[in-house]
Structure 1
Amino acid sequence: MNKFKFDQQTEELLYKKSIPNILHDGAQFEDIPITLLQTQEIVNNSPINGIKPDDVVTVHNMHMGAKYVLEHYKDFDFENLKELHAYTGADDTVNAGQLRKGVGAVQTTRGEFTPDRVYEQLAQENFENLLNDPQLDGDTKAAKVFSSLSRAQLFNDTNKRTAVLAANIPLLREGAGVFYIPEPAMENTLQLMSDYYWNNDDRLLVAVLKDVAINDYDGKTFYDPKHDYYEYADEYKKHINLFKGLNAKGILGKEKVQELTRPPYFPEQSGPEIKR
């Protein structure tokens, strides 16, 4: 079940107001030394000092991608995903908008990870089936879209920036909030992503993302009426800082983390009878 349920107008307003937070995620993925306030100034097209021109262009291109998501989320498909990457990776990625053909490699906290080869038909089926799966709520879709696109590395570069934008599509469709990783949660989230790249088990990462990355907060205002009181802002910060200090156990609990990190159980299946 989704954490939030907003009407379309409120949901789109929340997304638009949260764009600086989403773009700041992209900057952190690239280790760009920029503050949330400076990101907001780029969004507002205000003069800005102390930021490299190339970094300003990177954030600006991601802003164009954020606008593209808002314009196309209702009927978003795999071709739109490639268009989104063309915006987000413009001037920053070889063959922006085109799928990766080479081997590719990702630097993680556990070393260099080599993603699977990209087969367009399979990639399209995986993305569109996930985005349109009637068995999954919007929160789960958002977490899985971000996780799977980040790991698949469909493009030569700019994959996580594209993924964090694409993760907002199911939330926009269902009025279910906005997806971005709060700055205090970024370091531990990257560690969980690294683990997921290597073990291909998204259960813990998805559970954490559903908890910390799906928000009703645009950086100034909480949109859920249940959160519209002064003390909630402190409760929210404490919750995020629990994750920062204790990792997943701080927000999910020790038993839940153990459950989500046990080897998946696959019931034994009897094969065909063999006659001697």
Structure 2
Amino acid sequence: MTSTRFKNKVVIVTGAAQGIGRGVALRIASEGGTVLAVDRSDIVNEVVQEIKEGGGTAAGFQADLETFAGAQAMVAECLARFKRVDVLVNNVGGTIWAKPYEHYEEAQIEAEIRRSLFPTLWSCRAALPFMLKKKRGVIVNVSSVATRGVHRVPYSAAKGGVNALTASLAMEHTRNGIRINATAPGGTDAPPRRVPRNQAKVKPSARDTVWYQGVVDQTVDSSLMHRYGTIDEQVAPILFLASDDASYITGTVVPVGGGDLG
């Protein structure tokens, strides 16, 4: 049976060019949703083309969601093109560097926070006025179980902020007909990134490789299943929370880490 959970719904998916975001955009379209696929990279247009070739409805939009202007432009584009926003999936984020905290430079700490907290903060702020006007809407934030993890302290702090944002927004706006939840993915097997998070593209040193392996080892050890998850295993709970199947769930962060609760 083909699901139509998102029929007649307009869904913004951020970070839609690769990885989990791409999987979310494709699945929502396959379940009848109209998708605005948003990313900083023009690769997002390939995702839109794939959706259209499968008979779905989608448009792409490039924006820098580390800025409020970028988030505002995204929502304005969705309203101009599709007239409404029913669901917002905030997927932008991800570790840029992996190292013990004392080795992070000031600029690197700030970059990690801008990457993994501000896109969600700005996008929620940009979408809320329309949802409040209509007295309905759903927001799903993508956090991480790495709020407890090694060699990623700035990223962990950013995702802790996403968790707090999720809970606080739900307390403010569930009474206004808006549900806000998050998933917290654990380690996830994904194809190599076509656009690296570290734009400097610096080849990792032997020490960098050891530090990153520490992240991998801790991730696997912390999971009761002792493995990484798949893209599909991360997409499914995001879609559940975004759909009416989760109509009595709000203010919740759902760990999706094979038993690692973060």
Give the TM-score normalised by structure 1: 0.32
- Comparing both structures, which one devotes a greater share of its residues to strand? 2
- Comparing both structures, which one devotes a greater share of its residues to helix? 1
Give the TM-score normalised by structure 2: 0.33
Higher normalized contact order (CA 8 Å, seq sep 6+, divided by chain length): 1
Instruction: Kindly name which structure, 1 or 2, has the bigger radius of gyration based on alpha carbons.
Output: 1
